[in-house]
Amino acid sequence: MAEVKWKGKPEMSEGLGSGERLQSLLVSAGLNRLTDDQAIKFAGYLALIQRWNTKTNLTSVRNEEGILSRHFVECIACTRLLPSCIRTLLDFGSGAGFPGIPIAICREDIAVTLAESQGKKAAFLNEALRVLELNAKVHSGRAEDLDQVFDAVVLRAVDRMTEAVRSAAQLVSLEGWLGIMTSDADQDRLVEAAGTGFEWGNPTPLPGSESRLVALGRKRK
């Protein structure tokens, strides 16, 4: 990425060098580079995570390299598996915004809803959306309480994952998509929890791991 000077919000000028490092990690993982604007937004997102992590436990991965390689690269890889027809997406149990915020950065055509029931994490998500100016909104509550369905629902590292997948499956529209970021050891159990109403393709391995993967299923009519 060429050197870029950010002229917008001052929060977005922090850590621009991390955008260059993220580009390098993506290339090493065999993934296409981000646009300059996307890389800048990821740099701003990283700076927000690191600042808020000092007072709120957003993620146990606290070092820059770990956030870039484990969280960002994996979520970007997941984003690029999503079909182009998706227009609405729910990040079920968003936490620090994974994978919903990377999806919103990379796919501006998707209206993303971040569902997070913990108040401090929901406050962080609202601040991230304000600073990054993304096409997304926060549902500060349980995803199960939403009264709408989505073209896609995605989950990553949610508490009580089996029950979460079961609930998430109910929020997917007919012919919509359910994306589960998990491990090969848990894949069969979670796919079973989604019920028999989905058709599943072959899982896609995530970069940098021999066990983590994305399972993507389409809801039958």
Structural domains in the chain plus CATH codes: 10-219 (3.40.50.150)
Task: Name the token pair of 114.
Answer: 């971040």
What residue ranges of the chain have pLDDT lower than 50? 1-8, 10, 12-13
Which pLDDT belongs to residue 11? Answer: 53
Q: Is 133 left (phi over 0), alpha (psi -120 to 50) or beta?
A: left
> Parallel, antiparallel, or unpaired: how do β-strands 204-205 and 212-219 relate?
antiparallel
**CB neighbour burial string for 59-84, b if at least 16 within 10 angstroms, e if fewer:** bebeebeebbbbbbbbbbbbbeebee
55 has which bridge partners? none
Measured between alpha carbons, how far is 138 from 127 in angstroms, rounded to an integer?
10
Whether pTM exceeds 0.95 = no
Neighbours of 31 (CB within 10 A): 16
Which pLDDT belongs to residue 162? Answer: 96
Measured between alpha carbons, how far is 71 from 126 in angstroms, rounded to an integer?
19
pLDDT in tens, 145-194: 999 999 999 999 888 999 999 999 999 999 999 999 999 999 999 999 99
Residue identified by tokens 């957003």 is: 58
Which pLDDT belongs to residue 55? Answer: 86
**Residue 165, Cβ density class (10 Å: 0-12 exposed, 13-18 middle, ≥19 buried):** buried
Which pLDDT belongs to residue 17? Answer: 81
Which pLDDT belongs to residue 62? Answer: 78
> Parallel, antiparallel, or unpaired: how do β-strands 212-219 and 172-183 relate?
antiparallel
Which pLDDT belongs to residue 60? Answer: 80
Nearest of 208, 180, 151 to residue 93 by alpha carbon = 180
End-to-end CA distance of the chain: 44
- The runs of H, that is alpha helices, within 90-182 are 100-106, 119-132, 161-169
Torsion (CA) 148, 153, 159, 161 in degrees, nearest 10: 110
